[in-house]
Amino acid sequence: MRTLACLTAILALSATGCGTCDTGGQQPIEYNGGTNNLVEGESPPESRVYETSPPFGEYLHFPAGRRFDLMHELGVAPHSVQGFLSFERVPGEGSGDDNTGNFAPAAGNQLVTECIDEERVRVRNDTCAETYLRVVLLADGVSTPPAKPCQGVKTD
């Protein structure tokens, strides 16, 4: 009888948490914010960096399936896309010792890069999690970016 009660409880819990979410088909949101900087005197001699926000600034709301077209204004296609996620809109504002105010690098399908070109980088949340996003793009004008330009890219 106790085993039956445990099985019933497990089934009830799994039924409430195992729904599916739709992570495709959303139209991209064009994001024109963020900052870009030209860094001189480094190797390579001229690097460009774009950030949607500072590390402890306000992150972009990134629910399941959300797509962003990040209009980076770097003048060249970036060769590196780095994503960071937080459970707080502004990391560092978490309560007490619960660590919710931290951020961590995105991994796997938490941040899918759909296309990259001289104007934009399209990213998508391919999970069912609701988080907040910061993206850093690196471009040096010399490296070859991934070969998936944004022109003619379908949105599912």
Q: Which two tokens stand for residue 59?
A: 């992150």
Using CB atoms within 10 A of its CB, is residue 136 exposed (0-12), middle (13-18) or buried (19+)? middle
Residue at 113 is within a domain: yes
Q: Name beta bridge partners: 31.
A: 70
Relative to beta strand 29-31, strand 67-71 is: parallel
Residue at 1 is within a domain: no
What pTM, to 2 d.p., does this model score?
0.78
Number of domains in the chain: 1
pLDDT for position 128: 95
* Residue numbers of the domain that contains 133: 19-139
Q: Give residue 119's identity as a one-letter amino acid code.
A: E
Residues of the chain whose pLDDT is less than 70? 1-19, 39-45, 94-101, 145-147, 152-156
Residue at 109 is within a domain: yes
Residue corresponding to tokens 């949101």: 29
Residue at 30 is within a domain: yes
Residue at 150 is within a domain: no
